[in-house]
Amino acid sequence: MTELSPNQKSVSVHVRGLRKSFDGVEVLKGLDFEVRRGELFVIMGPSGSGKSVLLKHIIGLETPDAGDVLIEGQSITSPGVMDRHRMAMVFQSSALLNSLTVAENVGLYLTEHRLKPPEEIERIVAEKLELVGLSGVGDKMPSELSGGMKKRVAIARALVVEPQLILYDEPTSELDPVIAVTIGQEILRLNRVTGATSIVVTHDRDLAFGIADRIAILLQGSLRVVGTPEEVQACQDADVQKFLRADFRFKNNVKQ
Amino acid sequence: MFQNIGEMVVLFWQTLKALPATWRQRQKVFEQLFEIGNASLLMACILSLFIGGVLSLQTGPVLAERGIQNLLGGVVGISMCKELAPVMMAVLIAGRIGSAMAAEIGSMQVYQEIDALKTMNISVVNYLVLPRLVAISIALPTLVIFSVLTGWLGGALVAAFNPQIAVSYSVFFNNLRDVVDFGDVAHGLFKSLVFAVVIGIVSCHQGLVTIGGPRGIGRSVTKAVVNSIVVILILDYFLTRFLLYLEK
């Protein structure tokens, strides 16, 4: 088994035969794929296709019925894997702790694990907030922030961990197009700057094709295609094409 | 039901194992202590004053009819410290604080804040359950001390001012001092400590297993309060039997 250096910037992720059912309904139907170190990997699919469930398995929030998720060859369910590898997740709802200020939220990992003295934590928090373009909001409560700001605070909180693997669950949902583009730019920039492996789950095709090194399309719990954006575009699977080609420009085609 | 009981036992065991981390969580323990004390002290005192008063009012005339009203201080003293203060305070705290714990943790569960803690490798037991359990285990016995004292005062006031009883303060408290010893107070305090653990564990567990949206949170709050009170009342009988056995 590969022993990871604490300074290593990224980890590899192997998903092997992953299956999960809820109340007899199979949500994930035996998924197999690999995410390479440092890669920006996007998992795309329509609502209800099992994307978020998959992401929760990758970070160990769900236990699979069958199969496994390997982080650098170690099962995510094995004891101590979260101690050996630094992982972070940006939730769809941002999941900021509403009882804490923005600064306390961002510095929570360092405070709770007592990794740095308070002054150092304050400096790191300010630095991370600046990195996501939110200087000066540290004293605000999450309820005082807009949806886009919350997302960026959640990203700052994830960055404090200095993650080797960072997961984004629908990072642009509920955001207007301008903010969505900004968040997309942030995700790409942070992937290049930090070198961390990034996995993004989204149904936003523009975001996916704009930032991904590779894309996987998840439809009804099965992976239909995994490849570079060009390879995915060229995929001949009818369901994949239907998902990729769906658009709003139907007004002129409606017969009076 | 058995699954829930099992989960609560596991949660209690995990919290016991986390006790050495209490000093690290002292800030949160103080916050919770303030929350519990601030929210409940006045209410606890008012409630106990009237419980003691009613106890005197009900018992005093019956004793007076038989010419043994001088024993009223002992009756009120024992009843308050061994039974009424621990149980009534536990019911009050289950309603006020248990519900708040279940609602807060339940909403954190529903809005993925607990998932966020887990992804940061922050122990939910250490961060959420431990401070609450330690705080309620300190606060409830403390409230019971206040409750016992104000209950005795309420009993003495009614005994002195009600013409059917007419027992002076000195007679009331002399008899109370003769009958009630430290063991009786410790009996009540031990019960309240057990009840505090029950309220803390039941409420935190209900919060942690919350599913769904606001309706799920509401359901958890109701379950936390009802289950806590049911467990307290059942446990009260067995604890009393056990403590009386020890007193022999």
Residue B219 lies in a domain: yes
Chain A residue numbers touching B115 (CB-CB < 8 A): 56, 61, 89, 91, 95
Which of A83, A99, A114 has its CB closest to that of B121? A83
Query: What is the model's pLDDT at position B200?
Result: 95
The answer to whether residues B111 and A95 touch, using CB atoms and an 8 Å cutoff, is yes
pLDDT band at A4 (very low <50, low <70, confident <90, very high): very low
Task: Check A95 against B113: CB less than 8 A apart.
Answer: yes
Mean pLDDT confidence for A157-178: 86
Question: Which of A65-74, A98-107, A245-254 bottoms out in mean pLDDT, i.e. has the lowest?
Answer: A245-254
| Percent of the residues in chain B that have a pLDDT greater than 90, as a whole number | 69
Task: Check B120 against A97: CB less than 8 A apart.
Answer: no
What residue segments make up the domains of chain A, in order of their start? Answer: 20-26+36-86+163-245, 97-162
Residue B9 lies in a domain: no
Query: What is the model's pLDDT at position B173?
Result: 92
Higher-confidence residue of B2 and B54: namely: B54
Chain A residue numbers touching B116 (CB-CB < 8 A): 89, 91, 95-97, 157
Instruction: Report the candidate in B81, B77, B29 with the shortest Cα–Cα distance to residue B192.
Output: B81
Question: Which of A239-248, B28-37, B100-109 bottoms out in mean pLDDT, i.e. has the lowest?
Answer: A239-248
Cα–Cα distances (Å) from A242 to A45, A173, A216, in that order, read 11, 21, 15
The per-residue pLDDT for range B74-101, each reduced to its tens digit, is 999 999 999 999 999 999 999 999 999 9
pLDDT band at B136 (very low <50, low <70, confident <90, very high): very high
Query: What is the model's pLDDT at position A131?
Result: 80
d(CA A141, CA A247): 38
Q: Which one of B32, B35, B105, B119 would you mutate to disrupt binding with A, by most A Cβ within 10 Å of its Cβ?
A: B119
Classify residue A177 as exposed, middle or buried by CB count within 10 Å of its CB (0-12, 13-18, 19+): exposed
Q: Looking at the DSSP assignment, which residues form a beta bridge with residue A168?
A: A90, A200
Query: What is the model's pLDDT at position A3?
Result: 42
The residue of chain A nearest to residue B25, with distances taken between CA atoms, is: A112
What ipTM does this complex have? 0.83
Instruction: Report the candidate in A158, A170, A172 with the shortest Cα–Cα distance to residue A128.
Output: A158
Q: Domain total for chain B?
A: 1
A69 in contact with B, Cβ within 8 Å: no
Q: What is the domain extent for residue B231?
A: 33-242
Chain A residue numbers touching B25 (CB-CB < 8 A): none
pLDDT band at A239 (very low <50, low <70, confident <90, very high): confident
Residue B87 lies in a domain: yes
Higher-confidence residue of B87 and A182: namely: B87
The answer to whether residues B72 and B56 touch, using CB atoms and an 8 Å cutoff, is yes
Query: What is the model's pLDDT at position A255?
Result: 59
Per the structure block, which two tokens stand in for A247?
């658009």
The per-residue pLDDT for range B21-44, each reduced to its tens digit, is 888 888 889 988 988 888 789 999
Is A5's pLDDT higher than 50? no
The answer to whether residues B191 and B239 touch, using CB atoms and an 8 Å cutoff, is yes
Mean pLDDT, chain B, whole residue set: 91
Which of B24, B112, B122 has its CB closest to that of A95? B112
The per-residue pLDDT for range A129-146, each reduced to its tens digit, is 888 888 888 899 999 998
The per-residue pLDDT for range A9-49, each reduced to its tens digit, is 788 999 999 999 998 888 898 889 999 999 999 999 888 88
| 3-state SS assignment for residue A88 | strand
Mean pLDDT confidence for B154-176: 90
Query: What is the model's pLDDT at position B222?
Result: 94
Mean pLDDT confidence for B222-241: 94
Per the structure block, which two tokens stand in for B81?
């410290």
pLDDT band at A254 (very low <50, low <70, confident <90, very high): low
CATH number for the domain running over A20-26+36-86+163-245: 3.40.50.300
Mean pLDDT confidence for A102-130: 90
Chain B residue numbers touching A114 (CB-CB < 8 A): 24
Element of type H or E holding A16: strand A13-22
| Percent of the residues in chain B that have a pLDDT greater than 70, as a whole number | 100
Mean pLDDT confidence for B180-197: 92
Query: What is the model's pLDDT at position B90?
Result: 95
The answer to whether residues A33 and A189 touch, using CB atoms and an 8 Å cutoff, is no
A82 in contact with B, Cβ within 8 Å: yes
Q: How close A133 comes to chain B (CA, Å)?
A: 22
From first CA to last CA, the distance across chain B in angstroms is 36
Query: What is the model's pLDDT at position A253?
Result: 63
Chain A residue numbers touching B111 (CB-CB < 8 A): 93, 95, 98
d(CA A101, CA A139): 6
Higher-confidence residue of A83 and A73: namely: A73
Is A223's pLDDT higher than 60? yes
Is B176's pLDDT higher than 60? yes
Which of B111, B115, B120 has its CB closest to that of A108? B120
Residue B71 lies in a domain: yes
Task: Check B24 against A114: CB less than 8 A apart.
Answer: yes
